[in-house]
Amino acid sequence: MVAQELGIAYHRNNFAIDAHHTMTIRTLFHSAASLLFAALSASFALAQPYGSAGVQTAVAKSQTSAEYGYWEYLPKDYSHTSPQKFGLMVFLHGYGERGSGEVGNAGLGKLVGGSWPTTFIANNARHYPVIVLSPQCSDPVAGQTIHDVCGWWNYARLRNFVTYALARYNIDPRRIYVTGLSMGGGGTIGLVREIRTQVAAAIPVCGTESGSAADANLAAIPLWFAHAIDDGTVNWSSTRNLINQITAETATITTGSDYTDASGPGNVPAGARNQTALYSLGTQTHAWENLGTTTNVDHDKRLRFTLYKDGGHGIWSRVYNDDPNMMNWLFIQRLNEAPQTCNLDINAGGAFDLKDARAALAWMLGFRGTTLENFAGFSGVNAAAIDQFLSAQKASGALDLDGDGEVRATTDGLMLLRIALGITDGVAITNKALNASGSRGNWSAVRNHLVNSCKLTLP
Ligand SMILES: [Ca+2]
Ligand SMILES: [Ca+2]
């Protein structure tokens, strides 16, 4: 019954279909061509994106190993192989956009009927710098009561979808973002709970999920909620309840400073404004700012809530547009970087020297066993120990001196050898031994890495 109401309300509040209709049809034709190409080339490639950089592409459910059909948007500068990795935004639609997951008007076409997520590519000014994947929840199946099969987001399946995405795209795992509206606003929180330690930040919009005491463990995650106080489809009390559970504020006030009562639309005073609350979790307090004036300066305000005084249920296109700081706030969030562990003193002798460099170079060349031991010339350090040590260093990123995503004897290894041989001139150290397109593509950057992370003493 609730779901039925959601569907009706969605259609009543639907927006901008006409303006986007021709574009949608063109997009679908383009997508069909892309899919054909993808199908032809799929057997020759490992996991690859389906579309091209700067383009949104329909990926049919029958076409992919993912559990959902989805729209794939790749940022303009996307590269599948570059050391530079890209953030991922998962967008979860509402009740009205459920479908077959296949290409066509009964499937992925429904997802671009509104302006979302088409606006990512329709408006150049708003090209997002992240990969945007928009899965499509299935239609309900008569007699089924399992989430997703019956037409609702299934949070475990969404977790699988993120795992799939991490394997297929060049994603920075520290920058996974989730957003969605209505049923997808609830789905956003559901997915955040599922992958709590993986999510960098999320924006749940007029979501259907309410809170429980367990949600206190979401306090470490930057979350920006939005809901309208006059939402007649999904009452804003679900969002208020969630925030109260997360903050555990003693005074659980979640109406704006312009509001005098928390009970709903009948109590919004004349002249009330749309406002955003910024929470200080440490002190269990929050302060309200008028919408659009929120600054990015205070990163510590991880929890935010924009309360619209009106707009009903269909506020999403406003939410994503009204406050230009919202997306800026989102995209600067990232999980704490793992501490960079770099140690080039393989034999724990107290310094990096020629034996360490020889061992590293031989290891990068693929030598193992007694050959590796002989190359290194350590006393009392066997090949297995050298291999284990250098494998860990490689995994931490320490051995990729030029930051090109590869550990190579001819570049990274050669630079280490030259340094160990006592060469101090940066030009000589890096000569033909450095990938200039790496993230540390010059001597200054390599030197900073060796001095600051690896604690080498260099001139
Ligand atoms: Ca050493
Ligand atoms: Ca390298």
Tell which wins on pLDDT, 391 or 176. Answer: 176
Q: Which ligand is nearest to the CA of 405?
A: 2
Tell which wins on pLDDT, 300 or 362. Answer: 362
Q: Which ligand is nearest to the CA of 349?
A: 1
Q: How remote is the CA of residue 438 from the centroid of ligand 2, in Å?
A: 7
Q: How remote is the CA of residue 425 from the centroid of ligand 1, in Å?
A: 22
Q: What is the pLDDT of residue 142?
A: 81
Q: How remote is the CA of residue 385 from the centroid of ligand 2, in Å?
A: 23
Instruction: Examine the pLDDT at 354 and tell me if it is beyond 70.
Output: yes
Q: How remote is the CA of residue 410 from the centroid of ligand 1, in Å?
A: 21
Asked whether the CA dihedral 98, 101, 103, 106 is positive or negative, the reply is: negative
Tell which wins on pLDDT, 135 or 25. Answer: 135
- Spatial separation of the C-alpha atoms in residues 447 and 454, rounded to whole Å: 10
Q: Which ligand is nearest to the CA of 352?
A: 1
Q: How remote is the CA of residue 395 from the centroid of ligand 2, in Å?
A: 12
Q: Which ligand is nearest to the CA of 409?
A: 2
Q: What is the pLDDT of residue 337?
A: 57
Q: Which ligand is nearest to the CA of 346?
A: 1
Q: How remote is the CA of residue 440 from the centroid of ligand 1, in Å?
A: 24
Q: How remote is the CA of residue 421 from the centroid of ligand 2, in Å?
A: 20
Contact 232, 182 (CB under 8 A): no
Q: How remote is the CA of residue 63 from the centroid of ligand 1, in Å?
A: 52
Query: 396-444 pLDDT, tens per residue?
Result: 788 999 988 889 999 999 999 999 999 999 999 999 999 988 888 999 9
Q: Which ligand is nearest to the CA of 454?
A: 1
Q: How remote is the CA of residue 355 from the centroid of ligand 1, in Å?
A: 7
Q: How remote is the CA of residue 83 from the centroid of ligand 1, in Å?
A: 29
Q: How remote is the CA of residue 170 from the centroid of ligand 1, in Å?
A: 35
Q: How remote is the CA of residue 47 from the centroid of ligand 2, in Å?
A: 23
Q: How remote is the CA of residue 341 from the centroid of ligand 1, in Å?
A: 16
Average pLDDT, the chain: 80
Q: Which of 19-28, 294-303, 424-433 has the lowest mean pLDDT?
A: 19-28
User: In which band, very low, low, confident or very high, does the pLDDT at 348 lie, cut at 50, 70 and 90?
Assistant: confident
Q: What is the pLDDT of residue 113?
A: 59
Q: What is the pLDDT of residue 415?
A: 97
Q: Which of 20-29, 77-86, 285-294 has the lowest mean pLDDT?
A: 20-29
Residue 91 burial (C-beta neighbours within 10 Å; 0-12, 13-18, 19+): buried
Q: Which ligand is nearest to the CA of 360?
A: 1
- In SS3 terms, the chain reads as CHHHHHHHHHHHCCCCHHHHHHHHHHHHHHHHHHHHHHHHHHCCCCCCCCCCECCEEEECHHHCCCCCCEEEEECCCCCCCCCCCEEEEEEECCHHHCCCCCCCCCCHHHHHCCCCCCHHHHCHHHCCCCEEEEECCCCCCCCCCCCCCCCCCCHHHHHHHHHHHHHHCCEEEEEEEEEEECHHHHHHHHHHHHCCCCCCEEEEECCCCCCCHHHHHHCCCCEEEEEECCCCCCCCHHHHHHHHHHHCCCCCCCCCCCCCCCCCHHHCCCCCCCEEEEEECCCCEEEEEECCCCCCCCCCCCEEEEEECCCCCCCHHHHHHHCCHHHHHHHHCCCCCCCCCCCCCCCCCCCCCHHHHHHHHHHHCCCCHHHHHHHHCCCCCCHHHHHHHHHHHHHCCCCCCCCCCCCCHHHHHHHHHHHHCCCCCHHHHHCCCCCCCCCCCCHHHHHHHHHHHCCCCCC
Q: How remote is the CA of residue 398 from the centroid of ligand 2, in Å?
A: 10
Q: How remote is the CA of residue 377 from the centroid of ligand 1, in Å?
A: 11
Q: What angle do CA 316, 318, 321 make, to 5 degrees?
A: 110
CA nearest to 439, candidates 329, 340, 332: 340
| Beta-carbon contacts of residue 90 (< 8 Å; ≥ 6 apart) | 133, 134, 135, 158, 161, 162, 165, 176, 177, 178, 179, 180, 191
Query: 61-96 pLDDT, tens per residue?
Result: 999 999 999 999 898 889 988 878 899 999 999 998
Q: Which ligand is nearest to the CA of 400?
A: 2
Mean pLDDT value across residues 308-321:
86
Q: Which ligand is nearest to the CA of 398?
A: 2
- Spatial separation of the C-alpha atoms in residues 286 and 297, rounded to whole Å: 16
Q: How remote is the CA of residue 404 from the centroid of ligand 1, in Å?
A: 25
CA nearest to 54, candidates 86, 29, 16, 25: 86
User: In which band, very low, low, confident or very high, does the pLDDT at 253 lie, cut at 50, 70 and 90?
Assistant: low
Q: How remote is the CA of residue 347 from the centroid of ligand 1, in Å?
A: 5
Tell which wins on pLDDT, 144 or 134. Answer: 134
Residue 257 burial (C-beta neighbours within 10 Å; 0-12, 13-18, 19+): middle
Q: How remote is the CA of residue 348 from the centroid of ligand 2, in Å?
A: 24
Mean pLDDT value across residues 263-273:
63
Q: How remote is the CA of residue 354 from the centroid of ligand 1, in Å?
A: 8
Instruction: Examine the pLDDT at 255 and tell me if it is beyond 80.
Output: no
Q: What is the pLDDT of residue 450?
A: 92
Q: How remote is the CA of residue 417 from the centroid of ligand 2, in Å?
A: 14
Which protein residues have a CB closer than 5 Å to ligand 2 (ion)? 400, 402, 404, 406, 412
Q: How remote is the CA of residue 449 from the centroid of ligand 1, in Å?
A: 18
Mean pLDDT value across residues 43-56:
73
